[in-house]
Amino acid sequence: MTYEIVFWAATALAVVSALGVVLSGNPFYSALWLIVNLASLATFYLLLSADFLAAAQVVVYAGAVMIMFLFVIAYLGGRADEPTRDTPWWQFAAAIIAGGAIVAEVLVAVLSHSFGKSAGVPVTFGSPAFVGQLMLSRYLLAFEATSVLLLIAAVGGVLLGARRPAMRPPGSEEPFAPEPAPQVELPLQAFVMEAETDFPVQHLPTPDEEEAHT
C-alpha cells in the first residue's frame, strides 16, 4: 500500500516538475525544477531496489551536474534569458504532437505486452557491491571507456573555457563577428575542365554569396 502511494506521489511530482522545466521563462527556475525532477526519479529508483543508483543520482546529478548548471546560469546573468522572438504557433503544435506521438508509441508498445510477475531478487540487488562487481567483471570495457570519456570531457571543458592567449583589457572585447568564410577555391577539376573545354563554367554561388543574398 505504501508502495503505491509513494509511487503515485513521485509520479505526480515528476510530471509537474518536468513541465516546470520546459515551461519556465527563467532558466534559473528551470534548473531548480529539474532538481526536483531528479529527486523524484531518485525515489523511483529506490522503489525499484536500485539503492546505489538512487544515491548516485542524488550525489552526481543533483549534487554536481545541476550545481554546474546553476553556476553557469548565475555567471550568465541576464543573458541566459530566452530571446524575445516568438515561435510560430504551428511549431508549438508540432512540438506537442511530436512529443505526444512518442509517448503514444511507447505506451502502445508496453501495454500490448503482459509482463507477468517481476523476478525475485536478493536483498543485495542494487547494492554498491552488486553494481561494482558487474562493472568490474562483465562490463569492464564499458567502465574503462567511460572513464576515458570523462577524461576527454574534462579536457574539452578546460579548452573551451580557456581564454585566448592575447589578453585584452576588460571592456575592449569586440562584439562577436563571424570570421569571413575562407575563399572557396574551385577544386582542381574545375580548373582542368575550364582549361580543356570552352563551356561557360557556370559560377555556382559559394556559401558566402548565398548567405549574402538570402
Partner 1 sequence: MQVGVEYFVGVSAVLFGIGLFGVFERRSPLILLLSVELMLNSSNLALIAFARQLGNGSGQVFALIVMGVAASEVVIGLGLVVAIARRKAELDVDTLTSLKH
Partner 2 sequence: METLAWLCLFIPLLSVALLTLAGSRISREAAAWFGTVMAIASFLCALGVFSGMLGEGSSARSHTYTLYTWAASPTLKVPFSILVDQLSMTEMLIVSGVGALIVMYSIGYMRGDVKERRFFIYLDLFVFSMLLLVMASNFVLLLAGWGMVGLSSYLLIGYWHERPEPVQAAKKAFIMNAIGDVGIAIAVFFMARDLGTTDFHTVFSQAGATWGVGTTTSNLIALALLVGAVAKSAQIPLHTWLPDAMEGPTPVSALIHAATMVTAGVYLVARAHVLFQNAPDVHALVALIGVATLLMAGVIALVQTDIKKIIAYSTMSQIGYMFAAVGVSAYSEGMFHLLAHAFFKALLFLGAGIVIHALSDEQDVRKMGGLASAMPWTTRMMWVGTIALIGIWPVSKDEILAAAIHNGDTTALIVYVGGLIGAFFTGIYAVRLMKLVFYGERSEFAKEHLHTGHGEGPWEMMFPVAVLAIGTLVVGFLSIGFGLKDIFGDWLASTAPTILPTTGQDVLTTAIAWTVGIGAGVWTWRLYDRPERVAAIRRRFEVPAIIAERKFGWDDLYYNIGYRPAAWLATFLGSFDRWVIGGSAWVVARTVRLLGFETAEAQTGIVRQYAAVLTLGAAVTAVYFLGKATL
Measured over the CA atoms of residue 160, residue 166, residue 171 and residue 175, the dihedral's sign is negative
Residue 40 zone, left/alpha/beta (φ > 0; ψ -120 to 50; rest): alpha
Q: How many helices (H) and strands (E) does the chain have?
A: 9, 0
32 interacts with, out of partner 2, partner 1, none, CB within 5 to 8 A per kind: none
Q: Pick from 63, 74, 144, 149 the residue near partner 1 by CB under 8 A.
A: 149
Residues 34-73 that bind partner 2 (CB under 8 A): none
Asked if 43 touches partner 1 (CB under 8 A), the answer is: no
Q: How far apart are CA 96 and CA 75, in angstroms?
A: 32
Amino acid at 1: M
Q: Is 27 in the site for partner 1 (CB under 8 A)?
A: yes
Whether residue 181 contacts residue 207, with contact meaning beta carbons closer than 8 Å, is answered with yes
From 143-151, 186-194, 196-204, span contacting partner 1 (CB under 8 A) = 143-151
Residue 59 partner contact from partner 2, partner 1, none using kind-dependent CB cut-offs of 5 to 8 Å:
none
Separation of CA 107 from chain center = 23
The residue among 64 and 95 lying less far from partner 2, judged by its C-beta, is 95
Cβ at position 160, least distance to partner 2 in Å: 17
Q: How many CB atoms lie within 10 A of CB 41?
A: 20
Helix axes 66-76 and 27-47, enclosed angle (nearest 10): 180
Shortest Å distance, C-beta 103 to partner 1: 4
Residues 95-134 that bind partner 2 (CB under 8 A): 98, 101-102, 105, 108-109, 112
Return the residues of window 150-189 that contact partner 1 according to CB under 8 A: 150, 152-154, 156-157, 159-161, 173, 175-176, 178
User: Which CB, 22 or 201, lies closer to partner 1?
Assistant: 22
User: Could you give the angle at the alpha carbon of 156 between the alpha carbons of 18 and 24, nearest 5°?
Assistant: 20
183 is a site residue for partner 2 (CB under 8 A): no
Pick between residue 173 and residue 196 the one whose CB is nearest to partner 2.
196
Q: For residue 131, with 0-12 CB atoms within 10 Å meaning exposed, 13-18 middle and 19 or more buried, which class applies? A: middle
202 forms part of the interface with partner 2 (CB under 8 A): yes
Q: Is 201 in the site for partner 1 (CB under 8 A)?
A: no
Residue 175 C-beta: closest distance to partner 2, Å: 20
